[in-house]
Structure 1
């Protein structure tokens, strides 16, 4: 890196670059509009940050636009039915975010008169908001000089300072570097600028160093190590779990569905009744069937990968008469059943189990 005295120039160099190259996002107030006095809507900033956790910008855009069209204010979201929000979130993954989204929206509406706290500490007191989201919202929405560190920022810092300590061990070190560079002038634009730099120039593979405003200060570029940073500790092999999903269709076309428990994976989402997901293939077929029927086992499995394990679901299908009551779940008539309201795993099961 350049001498310490020169590091004070880096934030302004990056802001100058951001003024010319900022990405256009549906939730973002660009630098030109911000300079003219337009302020970001904290609700839109918060919603986008929650949606973007472990999810790409490309995947989030359509969900964000649909959510803000349907619930344009945090009070609108707070008043929504749980099932409506969970259905609108279906397919975006990491469903605990949707449950926390509602808890937070209701806390803002009920305890803060629909106005988000404007400090990191105030935001941290809200349900479902952790250190990263609190820092991001306070910086971007309220121009607080908070340090915002996501995966893009970690990569930029690792290369800028040529840090070879592997992640996740390096997180405190990279955060300290990021904090030392965070300016008091335009901190909201700066936070977005560092993330944009990592997303568009300082990319994981084949970084575009020739376009980087920090190339002259980059220790990794000087050493020729930028392509190998950040280092990452070897990943543990993901275990495989197994389960059974039961797809029961009534003769009138209704499907038997249930709302999953609030806690755990896919909590609060609509899905097919089934067994627990275990590391070995138990329980035995038919042990947890939600309704008495002649079950047929399909030759295909529904396969899905979660953060910590791979899942393989054996699929059992049955056609049941009108007068048979289920022990679990409820029949949803065909006119009310929308496969798009199901999370991705359950939609995969439906695609395999529906009548051809």
Structure 2
């Protein structure tokens, strides 16, 4: 009979092999009595939603350098936070970041609540994020299930049902293993295991602390799990981006509506994004087609943007001219930076 998975075995592995991250309190520090900062845990978890650790690290360091406490973030200007977030994607997170920080300060005296239920009353915090914060910051009994944990559980128990159908079963299996002590370290240990050893391709089963009880390893099917349902084909939308400058070098920009894609972000005025976009220039002027196309992929669709440029002097119907010294391309979301790069290579704006 194969042995059952032992959480302590994984914790012993984690004590030695825990990944070093700017938001993480190392296990040795926790054992020495140093507690995780709930603000840093929360901020990292929001940033890590649908985003890789590698992409988040620099943003996290930047945010905590500019706004070291939740009160500092709550007092920040919206535009400054949105600009600092630019390029990280999923911009609704940045809007909820501000709303949540302000709610923590206004309604909770600047201290994050320490239970899953209370955390879920805050903007932008759902079941996964509340479980992560409660367990990692406060060592509450909570099961954290991300893609890494799903992969570990599917292999450990040889779950053949594909994701996302199998998610409830995998969550139940993960919950059954979660210990009643060191819950935060344990949840991080399972995620680290999935990220470093039980990886999507070529899992290093030979050095896995749970190799003996792993059913998929015994069956030789670890690399095939978890199975996934076929992805739906993403549709393609089109649009027009208008990039205009005044003779003094100012750029015509607009802040996108708070609700919707890239909500609250600075960008170039443009048309709607659909199968047959209609011209909708922000200013009456002579527009020139760059002959170049910007391509970008969002979660649910691919986008192709035609880029038109012009020098202009009249007042725009929408948007506002931003003086060149006050404009930073780094404050634009990725798709808008791609448009900027195309426009800057076009002769009319040099």
TM-score range for the pair, normalised by the shorter chain length: over 0.9
Alignment of 1:281 with 2:273, yes or no, is: no
User: 2-side partners of 1:211 and 1:35: how far apart?
Assistant: 25
Q: How does 1:1-356 map to 2 (within 5 A)?
A: 2=2, 6-7=4-5, 10-278=6-274, 280-283=275-278, 287-321=279-313, 324-354=314-344, 355-356=349-350
User: 1-side partners of 2:277 and 2:262: how far apart?
Assistant: 20
SS at match of 2:264: coil
How far did 1:211 drift? 1.0
User: 1-side partners of 2:262 and 2:293: how far apart?
Assistant: 19
User: 2-side partners of 1:320 and 1:102: how far apart?
Assistant: 35
User: 2-side partners of 1:282 and 1:139: how far apart?
Assistant: 47
How far did 1:297 drift? 1.0
How far did 1:281 drift? 2.5
**Gaps spanning 5+ residues in structure 2: where?**
none
How far did 1:127 drift? 1.0
How far did 1:2 drift? 3.1
For this pair of structures, how many residues does the alignment match? 346
Normalised by the length of structure 1, the TM-score is 0.96
Normalised by the length of structure 2, the TM-score is 0.98
Pairwise CA RMSD: 0.9
Q: Deviations over 1:288-347 (max 9, x none)?
A: 1000100001111111000010000111100012xx100000000000000000000000
User: 1-side partners of 2:46 and 2:2: how far apart?
Assistant: 36
Q: Deviations over 1:166-213 (max 9, x none)?
A: 111111010000000000110010010000000000000000001100
Moved over 3 A (4+): none
Q: Deviations over 1:102-155 (max 9, x none)?
A: 110010010001000000011011111000000000000000110000000000
**Gaps spanning 5+ residues in structure 1: where?**
none
SS at match of 2:283: coil
